[in-house]
Amino acid sequence: MTSTATTPVLDAARYKELSQKVAQVRLEVGKVIVGQNDVMDQVLMALFAGSHCLMEGVPGLAKTLLVSTLSRVLHLSFKRVQFTPDLMPGDITGADIMEEQPDGKRRFVFVEGPLFANLILADEVNRTPPRTQAALLEAMQEHRVTVGRATYKLPQPFLVLATQNPIEQEGTYPLPEAQQDRFMFFIDVEYPEKAEEVEVVRRTTANRAVELQAVLSGPEILEIQKIVREIPVADHLVEFAVNVSRASRLRRGAEGDAAVPAFVKKYGQWGAGPRASQFLVLGAKARAFLLGKSAVAQEDIEAVAVPVLRHRIVVNFAAEAEGVTSRQLIRDIIAHVKKG
């Protein structure tokens, strides 16, 4: 007797309960953070997908406040690391320190670095040398650090939000595209609307205390991560996500590039790899959960396409000269794939 794969059956009652808690999380964060709803949703989606985010925005847009507030509402530990040119790998992973024991002997004792927390804000990650960046990226990928001959597991859940400052690029070490590919989302943190900025000024210049309620716990977030992966997605939607990624590539070899649209050939320098297809589907599942839906729709894939692909599709000089951005290229690719 042969066995066949079946689609996991979600516990509807538990699904609804956790979805309601996530909705409460957004309300609690809103007590402190004005606007930035898309940014908060993308951070939550990355957390529920068990992945990481790269954020770009000028100083003063409440990136640190958003993450620290989220950690309080989710009852998770939080560490902020200011990345600087003199930061060494051991400064973030931890190091073996010689300590004198009660018996008078000296032994090496491992002292944990700031990576040993649930939420990590890696501030201005492009200001630290590649060696330290590599240590961070290894921790993101493996969820563990290696110091000397010993390996230490990082706490779960584990989410890294790395920020880049789009100004003052002198003396920086920009993340190569291959390393950016490890981040699920590239989040563009923009200036607030006028009404939002007025409210921000009003709140931050008054004597105002806010009490936040912890809504979710670490074990519940791990449960959500498992549920997100069990959300069903139709085969044609998986194929749609793959087609979007493949349409961005200037392919060579036997398959050729006949399926690549003309505008990608004109403006594209580098396209998205298979990891992009995976994150399109996983991000769509996380968005479906965030909205309380029981299955993925095509609109979910389209909604996460820009943050998933923006740092994976590189435009060429011709595009830059004509003002064509990767964001515009992504939207054109989606429109092209939808036409079939």
Digit-coded pLDDT (tens) for 236-264: 999 999 999 988 887 654 444 567 888 88
Would you say residue 225 lies in a domain? no
Question: Do 212 and 238 fall within a single domain?
Answer: no
Residue 5 lies in a domain: no
Say yes or no: 211 and 87 in one domain: yes
Beta bridge partners of 161: 53, 121
Domain end call among 219, 239, 274: 219
Number of domains in the chain: 2
What's residue 193's pLDDT? 81
pLDDT top residue among 179 and 77: 77
The angle at the Cα of 115, spanning 312 to 111, to the nearest 5 degrees, equals 150
45 and 120, same domain (yes or no): yes
Residue 311 in domain: yes
- Pairwise CA distance, residues 108 & 87, whole Å: 22
Contact status, residue 70 vs residue 43, Cβ threshold 8 Å = yes
Q: Answer yes or no: do 187 and 243 share one domain.
A: no
Tell me, what's the pLDDT at 304? 94
Closest CA to 315 of 256, 258, 252, 263: 263
- The pLDDT of residue 109 is 80
At residue 290, does pLDDT exceed 60? Answer: yes
**Is residue 75 domain-shared with residue 199, that is, in the same domain?**
yes
Q: Which residue segment(s) compose the domain that 43 sits in?
A: 12-219
CATH code of the domain containing 272: 1.10.8.80
pLDDT digits 0-9 by tens, 164-174: 877 665 657 77
State mean pLDDT over 73-98: 87
316 has pLDDT over 90 = no
Residue 7 lies in a domain: no
Average pLDDT over residues 224-228: 92
Inside any domain, residue 157 = yes
Whole-number pLDDT of residue 283: 94
Query: How many CA atoms are closer than 13 Å to the CA of 324, on its beta-carbon side?
Result: 19
Would 62 be classed as within a structural domain?
Answer: yes
- The pLDDT of residue 288 is 92
Do 110 and 240 sit in the same domain of this protein? no
Q: Give the pLDDT confidence of 188-221 residue by residue, as tens digits.
A: 888 878 887 787 787 777 777 777 788 888 889 9
- 3-class SS at 83? coil
Q: Name which residue leads in pLDDT, 304 or 32.
A: 304
> Cβ contacts of residue 340 below 8 Å, gap of 6+?
none
CA proximity to 304, closest of 312, 250, 8: 312
pLDDT band for position 334 (cuts 50, 70, 90)? very high
| Residue 167 pLDDT | 66
